[in-house]
Amino acid sequence: MGDNALLPSEPPANDPNPNPVPVPVKEEEENPFPLTAVDKWVLSQTDEQFKYHSWAELRVLIQNNDLSVLKRKPSDLRRYMKWTAETKASYGSMTNYLLAHRLPKTWGVPPFTPVSDVPFAEPSDYCVLLNDWPYGFEPGITHMVVWTRTPIAVDDDKGDMTPESRKIVGDFVKQYFVDRLGPGGEGKVLYFKNWVALQSVRALEHVHVLVKDVDPVLIGEWTKEQEWHKA
């Protein structure tokens, strides 16, 4: 489902139908975002039929840049579609919701004015949030999103990262996440940036980071509100 999976929000609580039986997929114009072939296949399943992404599988998918294959549990996808439709009706767009409730107020509104033109060079230009609507992962995998107000260069083909920007992102992930984990940390962290065709919030730059079997205390340190983001 592309970047719809990354938007931070609060999942609906006490869902009366947490694992609904498969239902026919609506016509495209009725859906809150374009459904991929993978989305439609997922919606034809029950949660019991769904196969969760393992760490080994994720490593291969990200290595091959096969990002369109990432999917979410059927009941989660249905709830997310409902939440997205309601949020767009209330705020007009997902961007407006994120600016109002999730991203630093000190950023203002797009087009942003970052302190540095180099992504992740200035701490006040980025923030790390938990993804409250993650993909369907096996237990022990945590999904975070790094939002940045500094543009990340992409190519003119499908909007994928350029070699230069891929190095910048990789260096940041190593410094911010991998190094904090100590020896063997590189085996516990994966990252990717959806190319433009898979993005639903194109006005807001972001990178996905996945970690495996990491202490929740450290995850809390990574994702807490920083002093320089407080208005």
> Under a CB-based contact definition with an 8 Å cutoff, are residues 35 and 74 in contact?
no
Domain boundaries, the chain: 37-229
CB atoms within 10 A of CB 125: 23
pTM, whole model, 2 decimals? Answer: 0.86
Question: What pLDDT was estimated at residue 200?
Answer: 56
pLDDT digits (tens, 9 = 90+) for 195-208: 766 655 667 999 99
pLDDT digits (tens, 9 = 90+) for 19-64: 544 544 454 457 888 888 999 999 999 999 999 999 999 999 999 9
- Name residue 145's beta-bridge partners: 129, 208
Q: Tell whether the torsion through CA atoms of 144, 3, 5 and 59 is positive or negative.
A: negative
Q: Which amino acid is located at 31 in the chain?
A: N
Q: Tell me the C-alpha distance between 117 and 98, whole Å.
A: 22
- Comparing CA positions, the residue from 191, 198, 195, 196 lying closest to residue 37 is 198
